[in-house]
A and B are shown apart, each in its own frame.
Chain A
Amino acid sequence: MRPSFSILFFTVMSGAGYGLWMIVGVALAMFWPETSSGEFLTLLRWPGFHIYGLAAGFLLVSSGLLSSLWHLGRPARAWRAFSQWRSSWLSREGVTAIFTFAPALGIAVVVAHDAWIMRTIGDEPVVGGTLWFTATTLAILGTLLAIGSVLTVFCTGNIYACLKPVRAWHNRYVVAGYLLLGIYSGGLLAWALCTLPHGHMRGTRWLLAGVVAAALAGALLKHFYWRFIDRERESTTGVATGLGHLGTVRSFEQPHTEENYLTHEMGFRIARKHSRKLRRIVVVAGFLLPAALALLAVFVPGSWRVGAWIALVTGMTGLFVERWLFFAEARHTVMLYYGAR
């Protein structure tokens, strides 16, 4: 399958954005049990980790979604895609993506409102106006943000996993991969945001441990996925045409002399030649190096800041290569009619 840049950018970037929102959402929801409005006020100041995360997630998710419109033949009609959520995973993805903006904007509105009130009060210890923040609103909005993000990435994965003609996509590794890599890249981003001024977040050790665990899980998952697609059961032109019982079927004349939409879109072959090397790049740059840097940051606190950004760059590079391979290595059944084997 031809990897189109708009889809690569969309799935990697919005995957990372939703992963970040999952972490921000959970982090916000975790304030809930320990109600202390004073703590909220310090933690939810601009700038701060949660606000960074909310904003960075918003940028990534929106630019990813906008980029996906480039893929459409008629982008102006994109709003129609919200209608068929009963049957279509793509439609469900659209609905959940829009739904997820609601809690994100909700949090932003509350923060903006309270920041405005705080400003009018100045440094007075007494709060004059009514702050909208309560432990409950935080918990509800954070939970909704995390749930919406998980659901959206789940739908993205299922768009591919439901396509029977592409065996490399129609399997149980795909949805798990999208979710895991989304959370993982969100974790890398969260780590980088923590290094910004006032970006401190509680439980950074847990974040680093999560990054290491997700990286190792990601590497393992991709290993098993690649083993699965390499064992691809050979189908033939004989099976596709139903002529196999007569002998070996071979295409000797194409229906057209030039490329057509199908051969252009589904006959993409360039990747397979370099797939071994590219897979190694994914594992090393995408997973092992960031995991090593995260471990280093736990034991050598001095490397925490530099490590975060190196891990983010190599990790995201690895994920782009991973997503490129995800498309480029996938074969479509229709190519059997064109003599593919």
Chain B
Amino acid sequence: MTSLPTAGPRKLGLVIDLDTCVGCHACAVACKEWNDGGAFGPLPDADPYGAEPMGVWFNRVHGYEVQGSGIGDSRLGKAEPRAARSNPESPIPNPANAMSVHFPRSCLHCETPACVTVCPTGASYKRAEDGIVLVDEDKCIGCQLCAWACPYGARELSAKRGVMQKCTLCVDRIYNETLDEADRQPACVMACPTRARHFGDLGDSDSAVSRLVAERGGYALMPELGYAPVNRYLPPRPRRDGTTAAKATVTESIDTAQMSPLLRWVDRVLSR
């Protein structure tokens, strides 16, 4: 049924720390590896070693440059800052107030996912018991309307299999009793070398992930669209205010009057 179920108390999801993510793509690779052989696989690529390889990945890690005066402010989450001081069109960031943010993007397991309600076949569904959004690949006709309905790009069509595939929150790991209890986590969370990914119940305000979100000001992506994402992103911690960086680039002035005649001569020669 593609009508949404009555929401249960459990909302399993991910919390992704943009401060510690280093953009190594380990989550994306671990995800691809597990799910290629997991219950929702395979994830075959078209032309994998050819000129134009193409295939489904549940996880995509973007790299962004953030350029602006707001970074040094240490007042995250406050009002919009002034426009960046440097020319935003310039390809070279001003190192004094720029930073890079690595941004893993995957299904947010929304509370009101339009990808589910637009599905004509009932292949897309949201689980009442834990809120995970899944695709029944035996029912999917590959009409791709769900991909159009998702503003977060969580769904991709498998050109090889003709069906839509998406993040399953490793539903075949997290309840898998053949794994050690410590391993019952999504593959991306297990693989992250900087522990930038956390998995848990965001419906429970006492859970570790909910506390993390409360403590760090975790936010949802584009809540204004009304899909009510469950996953949360933790914003980058404030950087130093950039004054040290600015000092390093200031041109030093030399008082030549204080130098010996030899050094004055050397300075004159080198200054030519």
Contacts and interface: CB of A to CB of B under 8 A. Distances in A.
Interface of A: 1, 71-75, 77-78, 80-84, 86-91, 94, 159, 162-166, 237, 239-256, 258-262, 264-266, 332-334, 337-338
Indicate the member of B60, B71, B120, B150 with the most A CB atoms within 10 Å.
B120
Contacts of B163: 73-74
A242 B61 contact: no
Contacts of A255: 25, 28, 57, 60-63, 105
Interface string B24-39: 0100100000000000
Given A246-B66, A255-B63, 15 more contacts: A77-B139, A77-B141, A80-B122, A81-B141, A88-B2, A91-B120, A164-B114, A241-B64, A246-B76, A246-B236, A247-B67, A247-B84, A256-B60, A261-B147, A266-B148
B245 interface: no
Contacts of A94: 120
B80 A243 contact: no
Nearest to B116: A87
Contact of A90 (B4, B76, B145): B145
A261 B149 contact: no
For the complex of A and B, the 8 pairs showing the least CB-CB separation, nearest first, are A247-B68, A73-B142, A73-B162, A253-B63, A91-B120, A334-B153, A165-B151, A255-B60
Interface residues of B, number: 81
A241 B221 contact: yes
Interface of B: 1-4, 18, 23, 25, 28, 52-54, 56-57, 60-71, 76-81, 83-84, 88, 97-101, 103, 105, 114, 116-123, 139-145, 147-153, 156-159, 161-164, 219-222, 225-226, 233, 235-236
A87 B115 CA distance: 11
Given A72-B142, A72-B143, A333-B222, A83 B121 contact: yes
Contacts of B23: 253
10 contacts: A73-B140, A73-B163, A77-B141, A89-B118, A163-B148, A240-B222, A248-B88, A255-B25, A260-B57, A262-B153
A74 B142 contact: yes
Nearest to B233: A242
B222 A239 contact: yes
Contacts of A91: 120-121
A165 B149 contact: yes
Contacts of A78: 141
A82 to B, nearest CB: 8
B194 to A, nearest CB: 18
Given A81-B120, A334-B150, A240 B221 contact: yes
A163 B149 contact: yes
